[in-house]
Amino acid sequence: MENAQTVDLSRLATFSVSSELIDRGDVLEVTVETGYGVERGSTSPVRVADDGTAQVPLVGKVPVAGLEVEAAEQAIAATAVQRGVFRSPTVTVVMKRQRSNKVTVLGAVESQGVYELPRASSYLLSAIVEADGLSDDAGTDVEIRRPARTILTAAEPAASNYGSPQPPKTVTRPATSTRINLVEAAEQGGGGLYLEDGDVVMVQRRDPQPVHVLGLVTKPGQFELPANQDLHLLDVIALAGGTSSQVADKIHVIRHLPGEQEPIVIEVSLGEAKRQGKGNLRLAPGDVVSIEQTPATVVVGALNNFIRFGVSGTIPMF
């Protein structure tokens, strides 16, 4: 079971929207040089409507949503010529303010709330950063909930020189839910899911079971998994005060796998784990680590008891 605190979240930053791409709600500054000998062209602030059009003074509505700034300049100029407004205009479009997306971040983050993300960087990593990062009890699964909404498609261009653009169409989009595993997304480098206005990011909390240690250890008991690092076999034996027998070597790790009724038993050599590291397994929540009795531990234990009680029996009492 992976730990969200060890995930390289920077690998999620793989998706971004061009700052020059125009969308509904953006505010543009449009300057039109008329070409009629006027020294300075007229400059006007224009907001892109929900139907994707911009109401340019004298020119009228021009579909610009989904276009880069340069393409929007060409579209406005072509529409002005097509409608006979200007003969050879020079159009300049400047992005003044991009629409921001309001995203709600809930669950296992440091600061839950509603955050405004710039549209050019409205992706999952930005939402997590705005919420001050993952909390210690964060799991590796994130759910993106996108509510149902009604949107307007961009208006169609005018069919004739003096006509008006066709009215936009109304499209109802159903609610959706997408689950992302942060570990898999970071490994694939494709977890930069783009967040739209109104999206809800739910970071699942983890509730790991403790690891139980029993058998030939000094302090048998249960130990919680750390929040920000992995727990290995030698780590938990150290937490249990070490082995109570110098010759203890046989270890059973009992693990329940999801969907399986019977647990699996992994046999590990303590000596191999120390010398080569092969047996120093990474433990999962709910693992049971049992340091087993062997003929060697029984003999050594009997000898230790004999020596202890034998020596104490020869000491005269005063």
Judgement on whether residues 174 and 110 belong to the same structural domain of the protein: yes
pLDDT at 299 over 90: no
For residue 243, list its beta bridge partners.
217
**CB proximity list for 313: less than 8 A, separation 6 or greater:** none
Query: Average pLDDT of 277-287?
Result: 87
- Same domain membership, residue 11 and residue 123: yes
What is the total residue count of the chain?
318
Structural domain includes residue 160: no
Measured distance CA(19)–CA(264) in Å, rounded: 53
Residue where one domain finishes, among candidates 75, 97, 119? 97
8 and 142: one domain? yes
The answer on 182 and 65 residing in a single domain is no
Rounded to an integer, what distance in angstroms lies between the CA atom of residue 260 and that of residue 239? Answer: 29
In a domain, 271, yes or no: yes
Same domain, 11 and 116: yes
Do the Cβ atoms of 112 and 16 come closer than 8 Å?
no
Report which residue type is found at 173.
Answer: R
Rounded Cα distance between 59 and 141, Å, is 50
Query: Angle at the Cα of 6 (from 252 to 262), degrees rounded to 5?
Result: 30
Same domain, 177 and 232: no
Q: Residue 80: which CATH number? A: 3.30.1950.10
> Distance between CA 123 and CA 137 in Å, rounded?
22
* pLDDT tens, position by position, 224-255: 877 667 889 999 999 999 998 888 889 999 99
When pLDDT is averaged across residues 31-47 and rounded to a whole number, the result is 74
Res. 16: pLDDT tops 80: no
Domain count, the chain: 3
Please tell me the distance from the alpha carbon of residue 163 to that of residue 180, in angstroms, as a whole number: 47
**One domain, residues 201 and 292:** no
Beta-bridge partners for 268:
251
CATH number at residue 284: 3.10.560.10
Average pLDDT of span 168-197: 80
194/155: higher pLDDT: 194
Q: Is residue 306 part of a domain?
A: no
Is residue 118 domain-resident? yes
Predicted pLDDT of residue 295: 85
Angle at 162 between CA 160 and CA 164, to 5 degrees: 80
Report whether pLDDT(170) > 50: yes
Q: What pLDDT is stored for residue 157 in this prediction?
A: 52
Terminal C-alpha separation, the chain: 61
pLDDT tens digit sequence for 79-100? 988 888 888 888 999 988 888 8
The more confidently predicted of residues 49 and 312 is 49
Pairing between β-strand 288-291 and β-strand 211-215 as defined by DSSP bridges: parallel
pLDDT at 306: 59
Mean pLDDT, residues 4-19 taken together: 71
The residue-averaged pLDDT of 274-293 equals 89
Instruction: Tell me the pTM.
Output: 0.57
Based on the domain organization, do 56 and 133 belong to the same domain?
Answer: no
Token duo for residue 92: 């300049």
Question: Residue 165: its pLDDT value, please?
Answer: 55
63: pLDDT strictly greater than 60:
yes
pLDDT of residue 40: 57
> Using an 8 Å Cβ cutoff, are 91 and 76 in contact?
yes
> Taking Cα atoms as reference points, which of 206, 140, 150 lies closest to residue 174?
150
Residue owning tokens 């911009």:
54
Q: How far apart are CA 185 and CA 191, in angstroms?
A: 4
Q: Confirm whether 128 is domain-assigned.
A: yes
| Domain hosting residue 117, numbered range | 4-17+100-151+170-205
Asked if residue 142 is part of any domain, the answer here is yes
Residue 109 included in any domain: yes
Q: 34 Cβ partners below 8 Å, 6+ apart?
A: 41, 42, 86, 89
Based on the fold, state whether residues 142 and 231 are members of the same structural domain.
Answer: no
Mean pLDDT score of the chain: 82
Q: What pLDDT is attached to residue 190?
A: 57
For residue 284, the model assigns a pLDDT of 87
106 belongs to a structural domain: yes
218/19 Cα distance (integer angstroms): 62
Predicted local confidence at residue 255, as pLDDT = 93
CA gyration radius for the chain? 34
pLDDT at 318: 46
The reply to whether 11 and 114 lie within a common domain is yes
My answer on whether 115 and 82 are in the same domain is no
Residue 305 host element (H or E): helix 295-314
